[in-house]
A and B are shown apart, each in its own frame.
Chain A
Amino acid sequence: MATQQSRVTSKELNYISDSFKNEDLLAKLCVQGAVECQDPRLKMTLTRMAQERVQNAGELMNILQGQSHITH
């Protein structure tokens, strides 16, 4: 049985995979910073950044979901 090909290249898939790891790590760092720091502005900035990083991971998910639909 022939393997179906996606339209995403192997290199792109590697970058997407690395990006997930980057967003994951940065979101967690931001959460830790937001929880532990006392400065209100820094706390607010890191909180917003943590939430944004989760959204970024969602956009990366959308790429993969879009690619998986193409194969059918």
Chain B
Amino acid sequence: MNQEQASTSFGASSTHIHLPEKDMANMVLSELKRISGEYATAALEANDSNIRQVFKSLLFRTLQDQTELYAVLSENDAYRGGLSMASQQDVQNELQNQAQSVNALRWFVEKHLQSDEITRSTIHPAYAGQSQSMQNPNRELQHAYSSGAADRAT
């Protein structure tokens, strides 16, 4: 930036400042993110079902706008430069950690629902097929990993 441009940008308050496109778009993205949060809170706390529905609609549109604007900006490689991809190893570690937790959660839910007569009769058929995990959750987990690793190897 030369001296003349600098004095234009940071000079008297009456000077109109033109933000670079990227900064302007980022500002809109930030606003969309902030407003999404406000609409989500408003929808969750609305007492009237019609008002809740309006807030949900406005939230949905705001999320769509954010997706669309981000897609336009992502076409520019320079904009994507700020994103770093997680390593395959980190993804695998997270998968292992979370798969154990999910399996334990599945086991916990089934165990307690099965122990109650009324809830046992209402368990969804698709869910009932997972009862093996109650007997040996680790075995199912190991099977899921070995098949996943085989898929990746091919």
Contacts and interface: CB of A to CB of B under 8 A. Distances in A.
Summarize B's interface: helix, strand, loop or mixed.
helix
Contacts of A19: 38-39, 42, 55, 58
A12 B51 contact: yes
Nearest to B21: A37
Interface string B42-55: 10011110110011
Summarize A's interface: helix, strand, loop or mixed.
helix
Interface residues on A, range: 20 to 34
Interface of A: 7-9, 11-12, 15-16, 18-19, 22, 25-26, 29-30, 32-33, 36-39, 41-42, 45-46, 49, 52, 56, 59-60, 62-63, 66
13 contacts: A7-B48, A8-B51, A12-B46, A15-B41, A19-B55, A19-B58, A22-B35, A26-B31, A29-B28, A36-B19, A36-B21, A42-B73, A49-B68
Interface of B: 18-19, 21, 24-25, 27-28, 31-32, 34-35, 38-39, 41-42, 45-48, 50-51, 54-55, 57-58, 61, 65, 68-69, 72-73, 75
